[in-house]
Structure 1
């Protein structure tokens, strides 16, 4: 759980700093206000995918004890790789836009790998979560059955 908390906190800091970088970098390079650059999206991507999603996962880990499973470990590292790759390529592409330079297929390809890593990691997360939810449901059903049986015996 500590790794999840630390990662969420790190992404919160990076998300705030990326917003500051966007504002100052575009000002310093006289980038026209209102024109699109991917730098403006990095802030929300890091705060949402990194900070908020990991806080939700932290809560789910607290309830279901997910972090002990191998699937969850794979999810955690692959997810972080995906967020970092995606955000990094957005910064690179956005910086090139502000500087008036062209992006290239390599940037798009690496960003695509980041998105693939995010997708695979989220599938792994749901598999890990499903395992715990189904196990908890089975235990809850057994407890209800035992309680109903005990009640009928006492009558």
Structure 2
């Protein structure tokens, strides 16, 4: 539970600081266009701060950490968010600096981050399912709802 709390708090701090960085960096470079930097803080606050606060509530209600899948969710999701946000910062700085042609690695790494985020969300739902329905979730998954009711 502590790692969820401190992670959510960390993403809140980094999210606010990334908004400050965007404002000051673009102002310092006298940049007036659109850049990836403008949405980094939104991603960090929403996907880091808010989502992990919701997971913290789910942890308190259902002890998600008792599921073997919870640690897989936590580390996969966080790796995806850090990777996604980091590459957005790199891409945004390049945009502000006027670099028009970026390496194909930039969208590739961003895509990898999004894959990790998606995988983490699936793992979260699988962990939640095991905590909500227990061992029966494995057997009931293939059974029509009418037969299990």
What TM-score does the superposition give when structure 2 sets the normalisation length? 0.88
SS at match of 1:37: coil
Cα RMSD (Å) of the superposition?
1.6
Q: Is there any run of 5+ residues in structure 1 with no aligned partner, and where?
A: 139-155
Deviation at 1:67, TM superposition (A): 1.1
Higher helix share: 1
Q: Is the 8 A contact 2:76 2:117 kept in 1?
A: yes
CA distance, structure 2, for counterparts of residue 132 and residue 74 of structure 1: 15
| 2:110 counterpart residue number | 111
How is 1:1-155 mapped onto 2 (pairs within 5 angstroms)?
Answer: 1-32=1-32, 35-101=33-99, 102-135=101-134
CA distance, structure 1, for counterparts of residue 7 and residue 102 of structure 2: 29
Q: Is the 8 A contact 1:12 1:50 kept in 2?
A: yes
SS at match of 2:98: coil
CA distance, structure 2, for counterparts of residue 104 and residue 38 of structure 1: 15
SS at match of 1:30: coil
Q: Is the 8 A contact 1:71 1:125 kept in 2?
A: yes
Deviation at 1:68, TM superposition (A): 2.2
CA distance, structure 2, for counterparts of residue 79 and residue 28 of structure 1: 33
CA distance, structure 1, for counterparts of residue 38 and residue 79 of structure 2: 21
CA distance, structure 2, for counterparts of residue 8 and residue 31 of structure 1: 31
Q: Is the 8 A contact 1:97 1:103 kept in 2?
A: no
Q: How many residues are aligned here? A: 136
Q: Is there any run of 5+ residues in structure 2 with no aligned partner, and where?
A: 138-149
Deviation at 1:6, TM superposition (A): 0.5
